[in-house]
Amino acid sequence: MHAKDQGIGPYLAWSAPWVAACCCLAFLCACSPAPRTSHPIPESPKWLIYPGADGPGEGKHIILIAADQEYRSEQSMPMLAKILSERHGFHCTVLFSLNEQGEVDPTQKIRWQDETVVHDIPGLEHLASADLMVLFSRLITLPEDQLQHFYDYLDSGKPIIGLRTANHGFLGFDYLKNDARINFGEDVLGGSFRSHHGRWHQDSTLGTVVVEQQEHPVVRGVGTIWGPSDVYRTYAEDSVLPAECTALVMGQPLMTRAQDSPINPDLIALPVAWVKDWTGNLGRTARVFHCTMGSGKDFENAPLRRLAINAVYWCLGMDDQIDPDSSVDVVGTYNPLASGFHYEELGARAHPPAFLR
């Protein structure tokens, strides 16, 4: 029986172009890349968000926390966030320690100076859904509800990067493991600040990769590092870096804050960057990277930026995607203020978060 005998010939003739169009649309959809994920947290005047562009970090969310009063983390953390989002595809969020006016204030006092001080970092609840925390804090005192977000993160098994003063990042940190109080610097990061190994705000640091670790993914393509901050001593003079830490970069104190300064012959090199593991109360193990360099001025050095960005990949288990030739160039301009506490002289003052974008 012919189609025309059933009265459906005209229908087939009419529908054929639509069938073809639908097939073409289905083919194009199958061949087109899937849409990128949107940034996982909303915009707010209290923090900065940087949606990821194309890159290996697609779908991963990094929270960077700037909460120090000396080394200009309020400038360096947005700079790193822009590189990680624009050049590597990670969604990034920068949280800040804010004053009562809702401003990022690097001049805030600490509890050693004023016993009534309580700091405020809005947005810490988003650590629960983040894939990585990058912490740059110094001697901050937080309310219990905000500290709880850190405690929960330590139990999550998710990775941690600590920069410079993060190893003495808290006052009143009451996380317990096996009924013992944990020291965030010593136990989580692998060492707390004990002293300046040299002269504070007078020396600079020459960082060289440990020979035995030249094949480690975190130092891939790094080379020689230099920064105008001094070397920290994180363990006693009669001791060594804890056995659970793997030193990646040794920091040699130089005589001045100039990059071409001679080596200080009276001071040995000490570890300034290492990796380790941390296991919290739930038995989940996380990768940890700690670098005691990291002032705003230090991060003008491209090899140090590469070290930190490589560490992001390593912490997230993306070792095989660390490209020694990937771009670590600054996005836009980056003119960090010098470190120190002479705020008026240095030009360090409070600003709304949006000012630091």
What fold, for 47-195+273-356?
A: Rossmann fold (3.40.50)
| Residue whose token pair is 């509890």 | 111
Contacts of 129 (CB under 8 A, 6+ apart): 40, 41, 61
Q: How far is CA 66 from the centre of its chain?
A: 10
- Pull the structure tokens for residue 283: 């038995």
* Calpha distance 346→66 (Å, rounded): 18
Please answer whether residues 331 and 25 qualify as being in contact, where contact means their C-beta atoms are separated by less than 8 angstroms.
no
Distance in angstroms (rounded) separating the CA atoms of residues 188 and 170: 13
Q: Where are the domains positioned within the chain?
A: 47-195+273-356
Report the amino acid identity of residue 316: L
Residue 206 contacts residue 264 (beta carbons within 8 Å): no
Q: What does the alpha-carbon distance between residue 312 and residue 77 come to, in Å, rounded to a whole number?
A: 13
Cβ 57 vs Cβ 86: under 8 Å = no
pLDDT tens per residue, the chain (357 residues)?
Answer: 444 444 444 433 444 444 444 444 444 344 444 456 899 999 999 999 999 999 999 999 999 999 999 999 999 999 999 999 999 999 999 999 999 999 999 999 999 999 999 999 999 999 999 999 999 999 999 999 999 999 999 999 999 999 999 999 999 999 999 999 999 999 999 999 999 998 888 899 999 999 999 999 999 999 999 999 999 999 999 999 999 999 999 999 999 999 999 999 999 999 999 999 999 999 999 999 999 999 999 999 999 999 999 999 999 999 999 999 999 999 999 999 999 999 999 999 999 999 999
